[in-house]
């Protein structure tokens, strides 16, 4: 009986953490710059020491909202989407590589490496890994 209770507690914790994370992601997605709790992604991108370009992650506009993608986009389409996304921020994408669901890419500004990202080809999630 104690093992079953422990499993219920673990499942409840996972569900609550998932809901909290999803709620925060939605709040950041719909916030305007300057709103209290708007989050890092709603403000212009700061370039500071080692924090990365997308320290808390972002989503590729071609892939819509998080989790929408049913099938991973091709390596070529993913590379083009990353190029467009970071070009709009004044950055350059180089060294895009990877197999399977994820791609790694280096992000440069004025010839200087500023971030290394991981791109999920199924969901469009962009995450800093530098």
Selection from 79, 32, 76, 35 nearest residue 60 by Cα: 79
How much is the pTM?
A: 0.51
What pLDDT, on a 0 to 100 scale, did the predictor assign at position 69? 55
* Contact in structure between 103 and 118 (CB atoms under 8 Å): yes
Buried residues in 41-69 as b, exposed as e (16+ CB within 10 A): bbeebebeeebbbbbebbbbeebeebeeb
pLDDT one-digit tens code per residue, 33-92: 444 444 433 334 444 444 555 555 565 655 655 455 567 788 888 888 888 888 988 999
The domain spans of the chain are: 1-42, 45-130
Q: Regarding predicted confidence, which is higher, 16 or 59?
A: 16
3-state DSSP call for residue 129? coil
pLDDT one-digit tens code per residue, 102-123: 999 999 999 999 999 998 888 8
Q: Band the pLDDT of 13: cuts 50, 70, 90.
A: confident
What pLDDT, on a 0 to 100 scale, did the predictor assign at position 85? 87
């Amino acid at each position: 009986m104690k093992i079953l209770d422990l499993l219920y507690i673990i499942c409840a914790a996972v569900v609550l953490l998932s809901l909290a994370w999803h709620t925060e992601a939605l709040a950041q997605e719909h916030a305007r710059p300057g709103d209290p709790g708007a989050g890092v992604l709603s403000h212009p991108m700061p370039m500071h020491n080692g924090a990365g370009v997308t320290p808390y992650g972002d989503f590729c506009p071609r892939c819509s909202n998080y989790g929408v993608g049913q099938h991973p986009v091709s390596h070529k389409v993913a590379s083009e989407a990353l190029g467009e996304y970071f070009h709009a921020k004044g950055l350059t994408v180089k060294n895009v590589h990877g197999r399977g669901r994820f791609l790694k890419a280096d992000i440069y500004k004025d010839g200087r490496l500023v971030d290394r990202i991981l791109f999920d080809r199924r969901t469009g999630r962009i995450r800093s890994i530098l």
